[in-house]
Amino acid sequence: MQTPRAIIARMLPQPLVAAGTVILAVLALLSYRKGMPIGKAAAILREGRAQQWDATVVDAFLRTIADESEQPVEPVLQRTPEAAPVAGGPPLVA
């Protein structure tokens, strides 16, 4: 049985999925590093434009973030141990 994410990924055009995966990986808050600024995602996509990623998708992303490219992306959710657990783990709050 496939997960909902796998089903949706099959329905989306692969060039969009590839570029989106890079964007999410760069912006993600990980246990060993902070999320990088959105400008870093833009720089990585520019470097691989028309070589690694579809030029049309990269251009659309760059147009979309043109006003935000120098601002870091803050994590949306944080774990708070003092709040009640949700589904067996610490809750996520805005």
Of residues 74 and 64, which shows the higher confidence score? 64
Confidence of residue 51 (pLDDT cuts 50, 70, 90): very high
* pLDDT classification of 1: cutoffs 50, 70, 90: confident
pTM exceeds 0.85, yes or no: no
- What integer pLDDT is reported at residue 6 of this predicted model? 78
Query: Taking 60 as the threshold, does the pLDDT of residue 80 lie above it?
Result: no
Phi and psi (nearest 5°) for 18? -60, -50
Tell me how far CA of residue 78 lies from CA of 3, 18, 19, in angstroms.
25, 27, 26
User: In whole numbers, what is the pLDDT of the chain averaged over residues?
Assistant: 74
Examine the pLDDT at 53 and tell me if it is beyond 50: yes
